[in-house]
Amino acid sequence: MASKMVPHRLHSHFPRVMSRSRAMPWGQLAGLPRSQLCRMSNGPKPRPSERNTVWRPYLRICVGVVFIGAMIYSMVTGDNESKLDGPSIAELDEATKREASITETSPMRLRMEKLIKEPQQKIDGNVFEKAGVNVSVVYGKLPRPAIEKMRADHKSFVAADVDSLDFFAAGLSLVLHPKNPMAPTVHLNYRYFETADPKNPLSGDKNWWFGGGTDLTPSYLFPEDCEHFHKTIKNVCDKHDGTYYPRFKKWCDEYFYIPHRGEARGVGGIFFDDLDAEFFNRSSHSTLHPHSHASSQNAQEALFSFVTDALASFLPSYIPIIERRKDMPFAPAEKEWQQLRRGRYVEFNLVYDRGTSFGLRTPGARVESILMSLPRTAEWKYMDPVSGTRIDDGSSRSPGGGDESEAIDSDDKARERELMNVLKNPRQWV
């Protein structure tokens, strides 16, 4: 039964094919293309509408024309907008650097960039456990909240009614942590900030100011080192204004202070910020050093000259010190004391330093560069007998009940106590 049904089903699929093949001579059938034979064997299929076939190419052309037109309009309007805004400060400065070298007639932005990059190639050595040099040259836009904050800090801030301002910032930051505990850590930073009217960045109104300073942080006190460091800085300050050194030295002592420890980070140096035309005009009315030439220059040129000389004084102020101390012998206990002092360095930088705090709050900032100033290693010792937290009432006791006074007054801690006394009571070195 099943064997009879199979041929019946096979033949039932071919009646139309067989009828067409019988109606067509075999010669004509053999000359047909393969595709036409396949259509014949599978039966007739509905052909696409002739109307759709005609309109489909035109539809594609219309869509393409609309798309290309939108692209051209976007490009044209974008170019017009950029032409209306004019070139940015960065573009103008880049063109200036390509066309000519930096001279005294160049914009202050380019002169400051050149100033901070030159010392980078001169600083080198193999006596430091960790040393870092950050060079920043930044072009950007200040949003409205940042403009409001700067307006509060600078009464003479111009163009403060706009939503954004082009800005330029350049700075050099340097920190050197020597291996030898007899050699002091040194920090240096000099920076320049400028904003410009986005409609006229080349000759429009500008806001600008300088900031910076340098300071010394020893683990062991050598008065002659402190005197040399401060004297070198004072000579530079006095060259420009006799009031600079006492003002900036006091500013440094107040800034590099650790409130929760009740001590300074180091023996100071100078520190200043927001030195602008208003500051210079106030300062120029004070008693100037007899050899000062600042009053004969405009404010920006005078302050740039001061920053240039201050930066140039770094190597003379520090190299003689490091040469004297880098190869001195030291004991393990003295290295341990250096580690404790580095702990104080870390505490100040992470808790109180404005630059570190600002950098860590900035989205997308390079954290490694911000934390570059930290020492490679540091230690904290619970209730250190010389620098630990305790009640200075003459009856201090250790957690175990032992008397700390013997350890504090012992001769082998005399040099550590000498440093602590200076850190708690800043000294006038020159």
Q: Which of 190, 165, 187 is nearest to 178 (CA)?
A: 187
- DSSP, collapsed to helix, strand or coil, labels residue 266 as coil
141: left (phi over 0), alpha (psi -120 to 50) or beta: beta
Pair of tokens at residue 52: 């759709």
For residues 110 and 96, is the Cβ–Cβ distance under 8 A? yes
Q: Which of 30, 8, 9 is nearest to 21 (CA)?
A: 30
Helix H, strand E, coil C: the string for 60-90 is: HHHHHHHHHHHHHHHHHHHHHHHHHHCCCHH
Choosing from 187, 228, 230, 240, the catalytic residue is 187
Q: Catalytic annotation on 187?
A: yes
Torsion of CA 110, 112, 115, 116, to 10 degrees: -110
- DSSP, collapsed to helix, strand or coil, labels residue 36 as helix
CA dist 418 to 221, 387, 413, Å? Answer: 7, 11, 9
Pair of tokens at residue 196: 């410009």
Dist CA 72 CA 78 (whole Å): 10
Neighbours of 135 (CB within 10 A): 15
Q: Which of 208, 184, 209, 187 is nearest to 134 (CA)?
A: 187
Dist CA 295 CA 326 (whole Å): 42
Tokens 């396949």: give the residue.
38
Dist CA 247 CA 274 (whole Å): 14
Dist CA 123 CA 141 (whole Å): 32
Q: Which residues are catalytic?
A: 187
